[in-house]
Amino acid sequence: MKFELMIDEETCGMKIEEILLKKLSMSKRQIRKLKNLRLILLNDVPAYIKSYPVAGDRLKVIFPEEYVENIQPEKIPTDILYEDDNLLIVNKDAGLNVHPSSKKEGGALANGVAYYLSQKNENPMIRPVNRLDRETSGIVIFAKNQYTHSYLQQKGFEKKYIAVVHGIIEDSSCVDIPIEREEGSIIKRKADENGKRALTYFEPIKKLDDSTVLLVKPSTGRTHQIRVHLSYIGHPIYGDTLYGIPDIMKRQALHAWEVRLMRPSAAGQLCCRAPLPEDLRQLIKILGHQNNSYL
């Protein structure tokens, strides 16, 4: 994998190291490693990263091939939504862990992705960029190389979810309440001023008899954030017995529906959507939902 950049009037006033930090969102650790391997080139010659290139120079960065089988490949169906040389975006089924709890255990989405990549003779190193709870369906992003993983972690990406909640929510709003682990539990979280900041925006898509379909956008990534915040304001998600009440849904009615990100190797923004799964469609139908363009 390699990136090439033509030095222009903007970048000719910057050190090579600064260009790599700002234009390619590389980390200083990555830069040092590639410099020592003589894989940062200026006009095809190993570059001194503290030097200033001139307009018209060609800056090239070569990322060495890695082949590390960190997850046991397993033939698990994978619903691929988008793929290129650097990214793999998958639609995860509810009831499936993103990552196995140990190398010996399987049955996770990552095992299926490792199998899919190995069948294409690609590096099966598994690098999930985001995680979903076991019972949450929808988009999971995998980076095919270390640079892309680091790039997306630094640049970030926008996620939107569909949630079906108890009660009627009339207007768009946000919850800005910190979240921390609940005492005596390694799983459960709670809204508490002593926790880490968590911010969740939500917008009603459709009001049902005594329920609401929401478009939810978390601006932070705390564990169980959406579930905790919606429960905190009195509108727990259907099927969420940890933060709500038992109801007709067998799993939390939460779906990672859309992601928007800047691709590291191509101009422009990528938008990817995962269709709403059948169990959520049936829940909405039962609760009185009609056709809606979001869904």
Residues forming the active site: 133
3-state SS class at 116:
helix
d(CA 107, CA 116): 14
Asked if residue 72 lies in contact with residue 106, where contact means CB atoms within 8 angstroms, the answer is: yes
Token pair listed for 166: 């108890």
Asked if residue 47 lies in contact with residue 19, where contact means CB atoms within 8 angstroms, the answer is: no
Q: Among all chains, which residue has been given the structure tokens 């939107």? A: 160
The sign one gets for the Cα dihedral 84, 85, 87, 88 is: positive
d(CA 125, CA 69): 5
Asked if residue 138 lies in contact with residue 159, where contact means CB atoms within 8 angstroms, the answer is: no
How many CB atoms lie under 10 A from the CB of residue 142?
25
d(CA 280, CA 262): 29
d(CA 93, CA 108): 10
How large is the C-alpha radius of gyration of the chain?
Answer: 22
Token pair listed for 66: 């890695």
Side-chain-side CA neighbours of 7 within 13 Å: the count stands at 22
Give, in order, the Cα–Cα distances in Å from 154 to each of 16, 25, 95, 151.
19, 7, 29, 5
